[in-house]
């Protein structure tokens, strides 16, 4: 996971200056402006798999007095950075003879798919201060700035931290998170324990616990914040917001299911049906899970899922 995230960050860092230079050929540049990329989701949490898309948010900052770029075909700042974001997405997603780099998901940007491709720093801060919902705050726990000038990166990281540590109604956070998980289960059934993302006690349940507890406690204990799920659970344990037993259960369940997910994302294009799995795949999964054989792996997996779901029910009620 961390290695695949590092590769994606290298790609972002390498492509962004090239895309910016291409746009500058016609539109020029905006003096003293800055553009940054926020990684969300699995990239933000350094939990990527071979098939992960990139959840990205683009934020820019422009001096108040600047009205347009300085090229032969000048653009207003809003249009300029929208074009830059669109070109950058195209560079990441366009099919080539060697395939496609990544799919890009922009739904976590302010106002979602209805919003502009890139937003100003002020708009980003104002939106999360007054308009964003609990589910957006949960997603923001995984927000990590991965590209852009140092000054804007610092301001963005500070803005994210201020939002996450702002006073919140803990009961409302837990209630909202529980309701969101229930609605998600209606769309993505949890009947297959090998659907490691949506299964009862699977990765989504564990992420909801980590993210909700971070939101509830970050105001008084900002040290619990971490974009990585397992690291956040460890910090919540250290701060006393999860018992040692509950944290160990969730960390073990997350670690095993992350390891198995890495194998499944390479081997299959769909949710696995283990009664149809080949002996080779079962052996590979057992090896990834550190089990003597597939039967032992399933016993451990199903036991950890059941225990993780019990922790979810306890925390979310």
Query: Which residues have CB under 8 Å from 296's CB, separation 6+?
Result: 286
Could you give the CA distance from residue 298 to residue 67 in angstroms, rounded to a whole number? 61
SS3 state of residue 202: coil
- Is pTM beyond 0.85? Reply is yes
Could you give the CA distance from residue 155 to residue 121 in angstroms, rounded to a whole number? 9
Largest CA distance in the chain: 67
Could you give the CA distance from residue 219 to residue 164 in angstroms, rounded to a whole number? 7
Q: Token digits for 229?
A: 């799920």
Angle at Cα 282 formed by Cα 280 and Cα 285, nearest 5°?
110
Q: Is residue 108 within 8 Å of 59, Cβ to Cβ?
A: no
Task: List pLDDT tens digits, range 281-308.
Answer: 999 999 999 999 999 999 999 999 999 9
**CA quadruple 221, 306, 264, 53: dihedral, nearest 10:** -40
Q: What is the DSSP letter of 1?
A: -
pLDDT above 70 coverage of the chain, percent = 100
Task: List pLDDT tens digits, range 146-184.
Answer: 999 999 999 999 999 999 999 999 999 999 999 999 999
Task: List pLDDT tens digits, range 93-128.
Answer: 999 999 899 999 999 998 777 789 999 999 999 999
């Amino acid at each position: 996971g961390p290695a695949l995230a590092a590769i994606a960050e290298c790609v972002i860092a390498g492509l962004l200056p090239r895309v910016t230079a291409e746009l500058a050929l016609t539109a020029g540049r905006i003096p003293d402006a800055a553009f940054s990329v926020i990684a969300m989701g699995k990239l933000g949490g350094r939990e990527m798999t071979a098939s992960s898309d990139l959840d990205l948010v683009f934020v820019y900052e422009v001096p108040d007095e600047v009205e347009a770029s300085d090229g032969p075909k000048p653009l207003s700042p809003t249009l300029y950075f929208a074009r830059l974001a669109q070109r950058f997405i195209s560079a990441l997603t366009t099919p080539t003879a060697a395939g496609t780099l990544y799919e890009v998901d922009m739904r976590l940007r302010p106002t979602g798919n209805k919003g502009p491709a890139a937003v100003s720093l002020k708009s980003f801060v104002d939106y999360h201060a007054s308009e964003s919902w609990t589910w957006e705050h949960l997603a923001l726990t995984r927000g990590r700035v991965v590209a852009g000038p140092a000054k804007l990166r610092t301001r963005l990281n500070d803005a994210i931290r201020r939002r996450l540590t702002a006073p919140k109604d803990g009961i409302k956070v837990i209630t909202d998170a529980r309701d969101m998980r229930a609605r998600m289960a209606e769309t993505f059934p949890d009947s297959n324990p090998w659907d490691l993302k949506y299964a009862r006690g699977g990765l989504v349940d564990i992420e909801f616990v980590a993210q909700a507890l971070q939101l509830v406690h970050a105001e008084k204990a900002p040290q619990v914040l971490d974009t990585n799920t397992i690291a956040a659970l460890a910090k919540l344990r250290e701060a006393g917001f999860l018992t040692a037993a509950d944290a160990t259960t969730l960390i073990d369940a997350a670690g095993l299911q992350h390891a198995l997910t890495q194998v499944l994302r390479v081997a299959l294009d769909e949710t696995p049906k283990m009664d149809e799995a080949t002996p080779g795949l079962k052996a590979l999964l057992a090896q990834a899970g550190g089990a003597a054989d597939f039967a032992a792996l399933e016993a451990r997996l199903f036991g950890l899922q059941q225990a993780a779901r019990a922790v979810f029910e306890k925390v979310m009620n």
